[in-house]
Structure 1
Amino acid sequence: MEAAVDRVDGESISRLLRGWRARVDARTLPELRGVFPRPGRRLSQKHVARMTGVSEGWYRALEAGRRQDFSESFLLRVAQALRLSEAETLTLFLAVCGRRPPESGRDRSDLPRGVKALLEQQVSYPAYLSDVAWNVVAANSLMGEWFPWVTRPQPNLMRWALLHPEAREQMLDWEDSCARIYLAMLRVASNSNPGNEELRTLVRDILEADADCRRIWAEEYDVVEHRDGHDFRLRLPYHGNAEIRVTTHVLLPIQRPDLRFVFITPADGWAGV
């Protein structure tokens, strides 16, 4: 039964890889200049293996759909050799290893037009965009009025919420409603992205800097993927330090799955935003 599943899965990605390879004219590839004998029109498996730095047998196993321990760097080299588009590279990664390709050092300010417009046009509630390490890459004007820290250089939600003294004053029930949940989110993120140096540094810096966070981290085993739909209480200067209850909503822009679109709304019908 297992072999049948492998064969079906393999046929799908095999057909795609053969088709992608067949459309590449080997004569146009600078990587194959000087190769003897000189390549003709057809890009062969041997050519792709040469361009990706592996044996012909290793590449042949990929194209045959045989499940191997193919590394991300190898799959990225295959995508480059076959001149794959972003969507084709995504398909290759999902078919072979079941995960998305790593982000390519994209400029954080390079936001899709629609996502940026949606953020700027959100005038009723505070809203912001954060990346996988909770760096705030953009925020609307109301978010800056509620939480002035997002206008400071290199704002980071986790560093502010877990390390800044004002967070403990403004986020009521700080330990239970904030610290335990955010640390549980960091636990999920650090295990989901073990190769992300920025996330590792973020966790290390927080635990080294704060004794309460170290204690919670050591005594808790909870994991939380996101804070969507979570209610919490705030006391902000923007609201004259009156207590308010709000709910967070987290959306993932399809054009930038590495970002979170977060906005904050009144809880229980509160209309004082």
Structure 2
Amino acid sequence: MSERRVLGDFLRARRDRIQPAQVGLLVETGRRQTPGLRREEVATMAGLSVDYYIRLEQGRDTNPSMAVLDALAAALRLDEDEHAHLYNLARGVAGRRPRPRAPQTPARPGLVQLLESVRPTPAFVLDQVSNLLAANPEGLRLLSGVGDWEPADRNLIRYVFTHPEARFVFEDWEGMAMDCVAHLRTVQGNDPGSLALAALTTELCAASAEFERLWAHYDVRTKRGARRVFRHAGLGRFALTSEILSTPDGQRFVAFQAAPDSPDSDALTLLGLVGDGVPSCSEHAERERP
């Protein structure tokens, strides 16, 4: 994808999702060829000329002012995360920031020590595109099967969309998948020229129809802590809440906690005790088939 087009792609995706009635426009009789708002409708609501708005969508104008961005955000009904994403895309395209070429950075030593100190709480260290830089044993057991991959291939989003056990592990797989893709769109806003992001999204669009659909849908959401229900072949079902600590260099420490003195907390304790003999989720699924 051309770096000059990412801003226009976002604007187009957003106007396609807004129906005229949502913004108080009268819908004329007859069939509209545009799925959402027309370019001229967005331009009018934002107080811009149609020609200028078209240049923005086509990547022929890459330096809109803050006032223009705010007007577009209001016209397209952007939420806080989407508004910030619009700013980041415009800044990144105008600045033409160079693509990073450095190899994958190892997990920070302090975060690796923290992984051990929080046990039996499952925890990972992720980079911006969710490469799994490090994990404690409970973290690897939580994502059943990810430890079978080579370390360089371990990526949380790749796991969600391509590993056969992921749909069992995450009870709300669709919600997890949507959050993962929305996070990558946020990363794109922060660094439109990221080679790591481009490689991952190209790979997953080819490997997963679900990823390709969600990527085209263009949700944008900053990764925050969330409650998720996990399933484990040996321990059953348990609910955990994630906490995320971010570092200035883009690494994220993610820990999954259970409510104190709860069955979920007991499950985490057992997760720290299970060994390699615990059956995999795929084996569990095989046993449950009639």
Number of corresponding residues: 169
SS of the aligned residue for 1:116 comes to helix
Which is worse superposed, 163-172 or 262-271?
262-271
Which portions of structure 1, spanning 4 or more consecutive aligned residues, are displaced by more than 3 angstroms?
A: 100-104, 267-270
Task: State the match for 2:102 in structure 1.
Answer: 105
Aligned pair 1:252/2:246, yes or no? yes
Q: 1:194 aligns with which of 189, 192, 200?
A: 192
Task: State the match for 1:158 in structure 2.
Answer: 157
* Structure 1 Cα separation of the partners of residues 165 and 187 of structure 2: 25
* Structure 1 Cα separation of the partners of residues 144 and 256 of structure 2: 15
Aligned pair 1:243/2:240, yes or no? no
Does the 8 A contact of 1:115 with 1:253 survive in 2? no
Q: Gapped runs of 5+ residues in structure 1?
A: 1-68, 70-96
Q: How does the TM-score come out when normalised to structure 2?
A: 0.52
* Structure 1 Cα separation of the partners of residues 163 and 179 of structure 2: 16
SS of the aligned residue for 2:240 comes to strand
Larger Cα Rg: Structure 1 or Structure 2? Answer: 1
Does the 8 A contact of 2:125 with 2:253 survive in 1? yes
Q: What is the identity, as a one-letter code, of the residue corresponding to 1:233?
A: V
Task: State the match for 1:51 in structure 2.
Answer: none
Cα RMSD between the aligned structures? 2.8
Q: 1:135 aligns with which of 127, 131, 136?
A: 131
Q: What is the identity, as a one-letter code, of the residue corresponding to 2:205?
A: L
How far residue 159 of structure 1 moved from its aligned partner, in angstroms, is: 0.4
Does the 8 A contact of 2:231 with 2:237 survive in 1? yes
Q: Gapped runs of 5+ residues in structure 2?
A: 1-62, 64-93, 269-290
* Structure 1 Cα separation of the partners of residues 211 and 103 of structure 2: 31
SS of the aligned residue for 1:229 comes to coil
How far residue 235 of structure 1 moved from its aligned partner, in angstroms, is: 1.0
How far residue 236 of structure 1 moved from its aligned partner, in angstroms, is: 1.4
Q: How does the TM-score come out when normalised to structure 1?
A: 0.55
Aligned pair 1:222/2:182, yes or no? no
Matches within 5 A, 1:70-85: none
How far residue 101 of structure 1 moved from its aligned partner, in angstroms, is: 9.8
Does the 8 A contact of 1:231 with 1:245 survive in 2? yes
Q: What is the identity, as a one-letter code, of the residue corresponding to 2:250?
A: D
Does the 8 A contact of 1:249 with 1:264 survive in 2? yes
* Structure 2 Cα separation of the partners of residues 106 and 212 of structure 1: 29
Q: Which has the higher contact order (CA 8 A, sep 6+)?
A: 2
How far residue 129 of structure 1 moved from its aligned partner, in angstroms, is: 0.5
User: Percent identity among equivalent residues?
Assistant: 30
Does the 8 A contact of 2:101 with 2:195 survive in 1? no
* Structure 1 Cα separation of the partners of residues 234 and 102 of structure 2: 36
Task: State the match for 2:117 in structure 1.
Answer: 121
